[in-house]
Structure 1
Amino acid sequence: MDAALIEAAIEVLSESGWAAFTTTAVARRAGASTASLYRRWPSKQALAGAVARHIAVNELSGIDAGSLESDVRELLTRKKRILEAATGPALLSLMGQAAHDPELRQILHDDVYLAVREQLETVIAQAVRRGELKDAVDTAQMDVLTLVVIGTTLARSVFLAPQNTDKGTAADAVDLAEIELQLLLSVLARAGASVTAT
Structure 2
Amino acid sequence: MDTALIQAAFEVLNESGWAAFTTTAVARRAGASTASLYRRWPSKQALAGAVARHIALGELSGIDTGSIAGDVRELFMRKRRILRAATGPALLTLMGQAAHDPELRKILHDDVYLTVREQLGTLIAQAVHRKELHKALDAAQVDALALVVIGTTLARSVFLAPPNADEASGADPVEHSETELQLFLSLLARSGAPATEA
TM superposition score normalised by structure 2? 0.91
User: Any gaps of 5 or more consecutive residues in structure 2?
Assistant: none
1-side partners of 2:122 and 2:85: how far apart? 25
In structure 2, the residue matched to 1:27 is 27
Percentage of pairs with the same residue: 77
2-side partners of 1:154 and 1:174: how far apart? 18
2-side partners of 1:148 and 1:63: how far apart? 18
In structure 1, the residue matched to 2:117 is 117
Show CA shifts across 1:119-172 (max 9, x none). 111101101110111011222221111111001111111112224364984x61
Contact 1:60 1:116 in 2 (8 A): yes
Runs of 4+ in 1 over 2 A off after TM superposition: 163-169
2-side partners of 1:161 and 1:167: how far apart? 9
In structure 2, the residue matched to 1:186 is 186
Structure 2 counterpart SS, 1:70: helix
In structure 2, the residue matched to 1:164 is 165
Cα offset, 1:50, TM superposition = 1.0
Q: Does 1:138 align with 2:138?
A: yes
Contact 2:166 2:172 in 1 (8 A): no
Contact 2:68 2:127 in 1 (8 A): yes
Relative to 1, partners in 2 of residues 1:167 and 1:66: Cα closer, same or farther, differing over 3 Å? farther
1-side partners of 2:168 and 2:144: how far apart? 34
1-side partners of 2:165 and 2:92: how far apart? 20
Amino acid aligned to 1:51: V
In structure 1, the residue matched to 2:85 is 85
Contact 1:11 1:86 in 2 (8 A): no
Cα offset, 1:191, TM superposition = 0.8
TM superposition score normalised by structure 1? 0.91
In structure 1, the residue matched to 2:97 is 97
Cα offset, 1:98, TM superposition = 0.9
User: Any gaps of 5 or more consecutive residues in structure 1?
Assistant: none
In structure 2, the residue matched to 1:76 is 76
Relative to 1, partners in 2 of residues 1:98 and 1:168: Cα closer, same or farther, differing over 3 Å? closer
In structure 2, the residue matched to 1:42 is 42
Count of aligned pairs between the two proteins: 193
Cα offset, 1:180, TM superposition = 0.7
Contact 1:141 1:191 in 2 (8 A): yes
In structure 2, the residue matched to 1:155 is 155
Show CA shifts across 1:9-46 (max 9, x none). 11111122111110111112222222221222121011
Contact 2:166 2:173 in 1 (8 A): no
Relative to 1, partners in 2 of residues 1:45 and 1:119: Cα closer, same or farther, differing over 3 Å? same
